[in-house]
Amino acid sequence: MRSKFDVRVQPGFATIAMLCFFILYLPIATLVVYAFNSGTSIAVWEGFSLRWFEAAWNNSQVIEASWRSVRIAAISAVIATAVATLAAIATTRTEAYRGLTFKYSFINMPLMVPEIVTAVALLIFFSRIKVATGYSGLGYLIMAHTAFCIPFAYLPIRARLENMDLSLERAAADLYATPFKVFRFVTLPLLWPGILAGLMLAFVISLDDVVITEFVKSAGQDTLPTYMLGQLRRAITPEMNAISTVFLLLSLLIVTIFFFLSRTNEKSE
């Protein structure tokens, strides 16, 4: 039985919730609909067509930028999640001590600092390295995305660790399991849903990033978001809608896979 203080039973809650969802998803629905417009306008419907999906598929710049985005996001997400997992374990599996709160704040700093500030700082930092080494490859984008994504991966992993029952880890330690074996056979399997959540979030954040990428990238290193930004400055066609629709479907696919993996892990527990 729901409490009378439950927000879901308050008058008008359903109406306000539906209105919020409508305002949130109507622009996205409009974008998807006009991706199938046969004309060149993004505001005037001229009939159903797949021409813009075909145009995007045959656009070598779109394909190149897409693969570059996916490659950078995948590498950055894996590295960021690994670092975030180690940081979460180090800050939760320890006794409280002076400076621990500062470490929390330091790890989460990129979430509080405006992204433009981080982008300018990375631009200055990497520009000096480029001058000193002569290297101007994708390594800078991967490092920048990794640094920016660490706190996004850290939060769900830390939340999972804080909510885990320590009795199994203590029991394994009492049975003379080494710290590594406790982590490998007890902590890691229980932590896996949090790691997946952090990995997915880091991947999506990296894939979506524009500001940091725009400041750090060198010539010829456009990711799909920066390529789309450049195209929008020239001419807006439904091809941008088609590209956005494909990436929307990719995001939904990632969320769906994560949902089923999480359910599988919960059942196994």
Reported residue count of the chain is 269
What are the pLDDT digits (tens) for 181-221? 888 888 888 888 888 889 988 998 998 888 999 999 888 88
The helix/strand/coil state of 26 is helix
Cβ(110)–Cβ(148) below 8 Å: yes
The helix/strand/coil state of 9 is helix
Q: For residue 106, which of 147, 146, 142 has the smallest C-alpha distance?
A: 147
Distance of alpha carbon 120 from alpha carbon 22, whole angstroms: 36
**Domain assignment of residue 5, yes or no:** no
Cβ(156)–Cβ(204) below 8 Å: no
**Domain assignment of residue 35, yes or no:** no
**Domain assignment of residue 114, yes or no:** yes
What is the predicted pLDDT for the residue at 234? 73
Cβ(153)–Cβ(86) below 8 Å: no
What CATH number does the domain containing 213 carry? Answer: 1.10.3720.10
**Domain assignment of residue 243, yes or no:** yes
Distance of alpha carbon 250 from alpha carbon 236, whole angstroms: 22
Instruction: Find the range with the poorest average confidence among 15-24, 80-89, 169-178.
Output: 169-178
Cα atoms in the Cβ-side hemisphere of radius 13 Å centred on 90 = 13
At residue 95, does pLDDT exceed 90?
A: no
Tell me which residue range forms the domain holding 76: 59-268
Cβ(38)–Cβ(239) below 8 Å: no
Top pLDDT among 269 and 166 is at 166
**Domain assignment of residue 24, yes or no:** no
Token code pair at residue 9: 């039973």
Q: State mean pLDDT over 10-31.
A: 84
**Domain assignment of residue 26, yes or no:** no
The model carries a pTM of 0.82
**Domain assignment of residue 25, yes or no:** no
**Domain assignment of residue 232, yes or no:** yes
Domains in the chain: how many in total?
1
